[in-house]
Structure 1
């Protein structure tokens, strides 16, 4: 039975403000290679997206009541690397999924955090 994994893509957002020549093309080519390798090796990409810059984020800290919630602009933490996108991937072989990431993104400045999604209990 396949398990769903979430791949969070961390990168330095400032590199995209004035990218070095060829950076975008090389990055997109790596993502295309990841997609190709997943398909070839039986991993099914079920979703994903590039995210807007973290400065567009809104953070909500719930309070004891809804009126006490604190809503702020920007990311929760100030970091050089932010989550810039994600994939959801179903696979029977999570170890091979890690190898696919290492192969497709060799030489990339991006970092990938892979987590197993908690299966929702659906009443019968």
Structure 2
């Protein structure tokens, strides 16, 4: 059965910014390889993107009275922030997980990136009682 998964890429944005262009290109090459192998193995990439630094985040909140407040980020005071994602459909989770190892490899870790998280997107059936 085909399922949809988000592959979440957390990382230390300051560590990323400290890398040389060559070091970043090595990480980007792993992502290119990942995308190529996803498609070659029959997974469907629905979308994905690298995200800008969390300092560019805008937070939108509503208070108890319904007043909306927009403020500057980041979302949380943590070392790691969400730095990018892939949106993938697959009927082979095991293969998908083996391919995720490409972007979770040593270049990813040395670039200040955390463990890659793979989360299934709920279907309409999942929401039924």
One fold, TM greater than 0.5?
A: yes
Unaligned runs of 5+ in 2: none
Q: Closer, same or farther in 2 for the Cα pair 1:104/1:78, shift >3 Å?
A: closer
Considering fraction of residues, name the structure with more helix: 2
Instruction: Return the offset for 1:4.
Output: 0.8
Instruction: Return the offset for 1:74.
Output: 0.8
- 1:41-95 alpha-carbon deviations (Å, 9 max, x no partner): 111111011111101111223222322x443211221111111111100000112
Q: State TM-score, norm by structure 2.
A: 0.82
Q: Closer, same or farther in 2 for the Cα pair 1:49/1:84, shift >3 Å?
A: same
Residue 115 of structure 1 is matched in structure 2 by 119
Q: Secondary structure at the match of 2:116?
A: strand
CA contact (8 A) 2:60 2:70 kept: yes
Instruction: Report the aligned-residue RMSD.
Output: 1.8
- 1:81-123 alpha-carbon deviations (Å, 9 max, x no partner): 11111110000011221111114542121331111112247xx
1:98 is aligned to 2:102: no
Residue 48 of structure 2 is matched in structure 1 by 48
Count of aligned positions: 120
Unaligned runs of 5+ in 1: none
Q: Closer, same or farther in 2 for the Cα pair 1:53/1:21, shift >3 Å?
A: closer
CA contact (8 A) 2:57 2:74 kept: yes
